[in-house]
Chain A
Amino acid sequence: MNSRLRRFLGRFLIYAVLGAGAVVMAFPFYWMIATSVKSPQEAQQAAPIWFPERIQPANWRAAWRLGAAGDRPWWGGFAPGRTVTLEVFVERPDAGAPRARIPKPPAVFSDPRSEATRIRIEPANGGWEITLENTGGQRFTTLPLVVWIPKAAGRFRATLPPDAVRSQRGYWRLEWENVVPGWFGYLFHNYREAWHAAPFGRYFFVSFFTAGTQVVGGLLIATMAAFAFARIRFPGREAVFLLFVATMMIPGEVLLIPNYILLSKLDWLDTFYALIVPWLASVFGIFLLRQFFLSLPQDLFDAARIDGASYWGMLWRIAFPLAVPGLVTYGIFAFLGAYNALLWPLIVTQSPEMRTIQVGLQAFIGEAGSDYGQLMAASTMAILPIVLGYFFAQRHFIQGIARSGIK
């Protein structure tokens, strides 16, 4: 074998292995996003559906038009006095007219949506026009619809594909979760449902507030300590540093119960204090920043000293601005740690108002049951801020992680 062929084969093999690995690594993300835009019936297929109806542009147009007719083209809705027309084409229109109904939620005595909507079914060329009119005075965000088509009518097609098709005696039962979706309302149906099924807005606020405060407070505290360890000679420095190193060996599980007891004594359980304060001082951050301060030239500090700068001034005017890469690294780590944590917030919070996004998601997994579309939508929402942050500050993420591994 000549060397060029060998080289080519070698390169090919590298790309093949890396590519196969990349497919495996990326697949769960694809599967999560794909499921998050599936209707329950699409999700619950024995063979996977690779391209769900809701991501097909042809359906977006229909969704846009229906949404615009109902209320607004982006997010849809069904405003008073509006009329929406859904067309169902069938192979043999003479087989009988379809029936249509606005399904009531189970165990509800009166449902304004079905009472305010007037349904008319008229023949059109090649099928039927189902006209829905909002005769009430109330605006509805969504409008579900069920249509029965006689099986004798043969194959059928609707302007907006139904979310589920079931067989019911002599009829096909077509179900729409929302016939006035609008483009986003169609594409992000599961996201909107999940968002309203649990207080995700609050969860996000708790997570961001907790993580943000931890980062800012942690940075100040770690910077001061790291600067003292790196640049100030004071009696007891080595002993305290050794103590800090020693605490790194204690696994977090040891602290769960004592800290829980302490928080209950302080009456801090189920508050932001419980989520934030125990994590403010980070030995990891102190280490990282100490390395940074150690790498700065001593001349800088000598010069400042001669100019009469105090240690306080040296820290905030000289060392702090120069340590920005280290601060960013630590900030990313602290934010990731706080945002992605489950065990600690699970223990110290009880009320839904104090749940972080991870605890909220964990609770949602139990509540959502078999609605995997909504569950995957919630998961996507939960990881989205971090992934977006990664794409904005990719270099910092990678360098930060790499830096943490260098002693």
Chain B
Amino acid sequence: MVRTYVFPGLLALAVFSGLLHLSIQYEIVRAPMGALVLVFALAGPLAAYPAARLLPGGVLAWLGLAVFAASMAAGFWIPPALDWLPLAGVFLAYAGSRARLPESDAAAFWGWVFVWPALTLMLIWNIFPSLFALWISLFDRFNYIGASRFVGLLNYEILWRDPLFWRALSNTFWYVVLTVPTGILLGTVVAVLLNERIRGLGFFRTVYFLPYITALTAAAAVWQWIYHPEFGFLNWLLGTPGLDWLHTPDGIFALALAPLGIQLGGFWAGPSVAFTAIMIMTVWHFLGYNVVILLAGLQSIPVQYYEAAELDGAGWWQMQRYVTWPLLSPTTFFLAIIGLIGAFQVFTQVYVMTPTGGVLNDTLTVAMYLYNKGFRDSDFSYASALAVTMFVIILALTLVQRRVLERRVIYEQ
């Protein structure tokens, strides 16, 4: 039925014309706005006419459509304070024809009315900005301070040859590769043990969970204190006075293999001691999340499987290996995906613990490099190119992860 599309169409026109007027008023987009205003001014009456033919309306419906058409046609010449008039016209038209509208038309109207607030916000703050990020990454130093010119993919080319970017990327890579599996493995161990019908479950769960809800900023401050070179607790515990954890740029693999006479450099030296310290703090912080999710996953495994395994004479370890681990795999997989996406964007704890990116940028992450480029150096274009690259990498890794890991996931029927 064509009539079902009347209200969605009118609502969309009203919202988009409102957005257009706002963007003109605040000079948000540089585009041939006159043409767009004209298009919307014509579209209003053009849409109102068939609507008037299709709707089984009375006087009120006609009035509503008239308000809609008139305010749309008036377009840019009505004051900004009255930008809601077309929308009011549509509501009036609905109120006037409501009594004689079939169910499906009412649903079409209300469905869109309910969705538009969220959709408008998403368009303004998520969807258009994503496209805009892609767009400004094609310019040369787009920052409203000086003139910028279109340079195509130049920013990406510079990025490709930017040693700091590669440094940040390799740091982030190690971060993802080391924290995500560690967190999931430790989380599984804790969750399995917590699931053994122990006493004090609530207590243990609280203790493991609390770090997750504490703010990363505060947690990072505490760990910075624990890692303090002179008065830190860790140095006392390990008997390594004076070891400056957060300012030691040596790679941990290089340090571990140096006694064997193997020299590692660059990427293969691994994450620095400082970055490893940050990773330990991160695993501590996120472990509780993994534990709670895995515990929920464990509790959803039907007990019959364990009973069957017990009848077959399986021991505790075999049960965990052949029943729990496979049946938990959807949860583990979910955590791997979420963890990868989250870990790739790591910023807060690194920024708090090593505000300058560490010694020799040994704790610089991609998100932090983006922050530095965008908001310290005011190079919005280059930062946007970084952001887009980051998006592509995350997307690619997620897809690879899906391909590789999902084949091993066992979904219970």
Contact = CB atoms under 8 A, between A and B. Distances in A.
To the question of whether A and B form a pair in one complex, the answer is yes
Interface of A: 10-11, 14-15, 17-18, 21-22, 24-26, 28-29, 31-32, 35, 43-48, 221-222, 224-225, 227-229, 232-237, 240, 243-244, 247, 249-262, 264-266, 277-281, 283, 286, 310-312, 315, 336, 339-340, 342-343, 347, 357-358, 361-362, 365-366, 372, 375-376, 378-380, 382-383, 386-387, 390, 394, 397-398, 401-407
Contact of A258 (B8, B129, B224, B331): B129
Contacts of B144: 261, 264
Contacts of A406: 296, 300
A258 B383 CA distance: 10
B117 A225 contact: yes
B292 to A, nearest CB: 5
A236 to B, nearest CB: 6
CB-CB nearest 9 A-B residue pairs: A234-B111, A258-B129, A281-B121, A402-B296, A228-B114, A405-B293, A311-B110, A225-B118, A379-B218
A405 B114 contact: no
Contact of A310 (B110, B121, B226, B288): B110
Given A224-B114, A225-B114, A254 B388 contact: yes
B233 A31 contact: yes
Contacts of A386: 213-215
B335 A222 contact: no
Nearest to A224: B114
B395 A249 contact: yes
Given A31-B233, A379-B221, A398 B133 contact: no
Contacts of A31: 222, 225-226, 233
Interface stretch (B70-78, B146-154, B190-198): B190-198
Nearest to B394: A251
Interface in B93-137: 104, 106-112, 114-115, 117-119, 121-122, 124-130, 132-133, 136
B347 interface: yes
Contacts of B124: 262
A253 B233 contact: no
Given A232-B111, A310-B110, A14 B292 contact: no
Nearest to B344: A251
A232 B209 CA distance: 38
Nearest to A340: B215
Contacts of A237: 111
Interface in B278-301: 284, 287-289, 292-293, 295-297, 300
Contacts of B388: 254
Interface residues of B, number: 106
B380 interface: yes
Contact of B133 (A47, A254, A265, A383): A254
A398 B205 contact: yes
B387 A256 contact: yes
Contacts of A265: 26-28
Nearest to A339: B215
A25 B211 CA distance: 7
Interface string B204-221: 111111111111111101
B118 A235 contact: no
22 contacts: A22-B204, A32-B218, A221-B121, A225-B115, A228-B115, A232-B107, A234-B108, A234-B115, A244-B118, A244-B122, A250-B391, A251-B391, A256-B374, A265-B26, A310-B106, A339-B215, A362-B217, A401-B212, A402-B296, A403-B296, A405-B296, A405-B331
A26 B287 CA distance: 12
A340 B216 contact: yes
Interface in B218-242: 218-219, 221-226, 228, 230-231, 233, 236, 241
Contact of B106 (A236, A311, A372): A311
Contacts of A228: 110-112, 114-115
A398 B4 CA distance: 43
Given A28-B222, A229-B115, A257 B383 contact: yes
A28 B225 CA distance: 10
Most buried by A among B115, B129, B387: B115
A232 B108 CA distance: 8
Contacts of B231: 43-46, 372
A256 B150 CA distance: 21
Contacts of B226: 28, 31
A398 B299 CA distance: 14
A361 B221 CA distance: 9
A157 B378 CA distance: 59
Interface string B175-209: 00000000000000110011010100010111111
B15 interface: no
Nearest to B386: A253
B352 interface: yes
A18 B194 contact: yes
Contacts of B111: 228, 232-234, 237, 311
A22 B194 CA distance: 12
Most buried by A among B119, B210, B352, B380: B210
